[in-house]
Amino acid sequence: MAKASQLHCSFCGRNRDEVKILIAGQDGHICENCVEHAQEIIAQELSAKQDNSSSANFKLNVRRPAEIKKFLDEYVIGQDDAKKVLSVAVYNHYKRVNSKAQQDEVEIEKSNIIMVGETGTGKTLLAKTIARLLNVPFAIVDATVFTEAGYVGEDVESMLTRLLQNCNYDVTAAERGIVYVDELDKIARKGDNPSITRDVSGEGVQQGLLKMLEGTEVLVPPQGGRKHPEQKMIKVDTKNILFICGGAFDGIDKVIARRVNTNAIGFSVNKEEQEHQRKNLLQFINATDLKSFGLIPELLGRLPVITHLNPLDAETLRNILTEPRNSLIKQFTRLFELEGIELIMDNEVLDFMVKKALEYKLGARGLRSICESILTDAMFELPGTDTKQLHITLDYAEQMFSKSKISALKVA
């Protein structure tokens, strides 16, 4: 048997005294340093194979505009105008990406999109659904966290970090992905005139977005932010990345109202049409209104497609509850089915939830809160019991809703 001092690592040749751990095999030994190196090599090889296969996972699935809209109709109720604009813009963008004939004089530009609509009208849902249909990498980022380079916060390049993470750092797939920039209205500059002081989280962020939206090569930190200064940057070309921006732009209706004459007088004035226009002024939105709100002209020039989402009325909210493929009622019915309980909900209860959502101006997102407030007690008490059926009546719904905290909200 060999002496302890003569034992050495069969890979690097270090003696037993020069290492912390020496693992014995049948005909040799290996130290902890060589094990770590072997683990790194295995991880690199596996990631390389995964990168090669991930391109196949994100094989682009381009559909015609009518097919895109039909798919959106299964998940999003209403908003036909926004769906048509999105379908055409997305189709034209990926037709441009797939086009190999770039030798001619005509070069098609990107069709980045900006969506304006009240909270809970479906801006994020539309972007998510389109990405699912096209089978492309998709990332949702919040514009409120970005600051100008050199200040506390995130750099605009970090939105591409999230896109890379969602496709396992496959740069080829990421370069034809979709980035949804939410809360764009929160980076509006404070006034229509250029700011005297430095606006690091408003106008500064807009200026940082310009080249990225237009198309340029960006050095992206793979782990994000400034927390890992030693990390190796990844070069990403944004010329084929589609940027969809969304925001509520609260108060922009007043800007539109000053431009659009909704107070015409005379015998030939249609009062009903005038009132309808006043309730949905977003349908008249254009780039001038967004500039007055606080977006710089250079940014608006890189977001050529502008669309709006209509406010949700009672009929639309009622359909949202039951019609989509993953509607709210279907979700809760499935939750109770997993416990072996059949959920039955009267139509009067659905109308009650729609009424409350309109009262509190919470949009489609508010329907979930109202539904939770009605069903929370049942979801707490019934699991584990012998109950096989739960019938929700209007009286029960009103009683449960009155006990919830949401009922204490003041009606706007």
Mean pLDDT of 131-144: 85
Mean pLDDT of 108-132: 86
Q: How many CB atoms lie within 10 A of CB 330?
A: 14
- pLDDT number for residue 409: 60
Q: Is pLDDT above 50 for 1? A: no
Those residues whose C-beta lies under 8 Å from the C-beta of residue 409, and which sit 6 or more positions away, are 360
Edge-first strand order for the sheet with 242-247 is: 138-142, 178-182, 242-247, 113-116, 305-308
Those residues whose C-beta lies under 8 Å from the C-beta of residue 317, and which sit 6 or more positions away, are 354, 357, 358, 364, 367
pLDDT digits (tens, 9 = 90+) for 177-204: 889 999 898 888 765 555 556 667 778 8
Q: Is pLDDT above 50 for 101? A: no
- DSSP β-bridge partners for residue 154: 146
How far lies 56's CA from each of 52, 104, 135, 170, 353, in Å? 8, 30, 11, 11, 44
Which amino acid, 18?
A: E
DSSP calls for 73-141: HHH--S-HHHHHHHHHHHHHHHHHHH----SSS--PPP--EEEE--TTSSHHHHHHHHHHHHT--EEEE
Query: Residue 175's closest CA among 91, 61, 60, 88?
Result: 60
- DSSP β-bridge partners for residue 22: 31
Q: Is pLDDT above 80 for 138? A: yes
Q: Which range (55-59, 147-151, 231-235, 310-314) has the least confidence?
A: 55-59
Q: Is pLDDT above 60 for 94? A: yes
Please state, rounded to an integer, the average pLDDT across all residues of the chain. 83
- pLDDT number for residue 192: 52
Burial class from Cβ neighbours inside 10 Å (0-12, 13-18, 19+) for residue 144 reads middle
- pLDDT number for residue 233: 85
**d(C-alpha 192, C-alpha 289), whole Å:** 11
**d(C-alpha 183, C-alpha 231), whole Å:** 29
Mean pLDDT of 147-171: 82
Please list, residue by residue across 285-301, b when 16 or more beta carbons sit within 10 angstroms of its beta carbon and e when fewer do.
beeebbbbbbbbeebbe
- DSSP β-bridge partners for residue 307: 115
Reported confidence tier of residue 144, pLDDT bands at 50, 70, 90: confident
Reported confidence tier of residue 230, pLDDT bands at 50, 70, 90: low
What does the block give as tokens for 184?
A: 């764009």
**d(C-alpha 315, C-alpha 192), whole Å:** 38
Rounded to 10 degrees, the C-alpha dihedral 353/356/362/363 comes to: 50
Q: Is pLDDT above 80 for 153? A: no
- pLDDT number for residue 255: 86
What does the block give as tokens for 133?
A: 């249909």
Reported confidence tier of residue 112, pLDDT bands at 50, 70, 90: very high
pTM assigned to the model: 0.75
- pLDDT number for residue 398: 92
Q: Count of residues for the chain?
A: 412
Query: Residue 362's closest CA among 371, 20, 196?
Result: 371
- pLDDT number for residue 348: 94
Q: Is pLDDT above 70 for 269? A: no
Let me know: does 195 contact 205? Beta carbons within 8 Å: no
pLDDT digits (tens, 9 = 90+) for 13-47: 888 888 888 888 888 889 998 999 888 888 888 76
Residue with more model confidence, 239 or 1 = 239
3-class DSSP state for residue 312? coil
Residue carrying the six token digits 């693992």: 23
Which residue ranges form the domains of the chain, and what is each CATH number? 4-57 (no CATH), 65-100+107-308 (3.40.50.300), 314-408 (1.10.8.60)
Let me know: does 247 contact 182? Beta carbons within 8 Å: yes
Residue with more model confidence, 27 or 223 = 27
Let me know: does 160 contact 208? Beta carbons within 8 Å: no
Mean pLDDT of 112-128: 88
Mean pLDDT of 43-68: 70
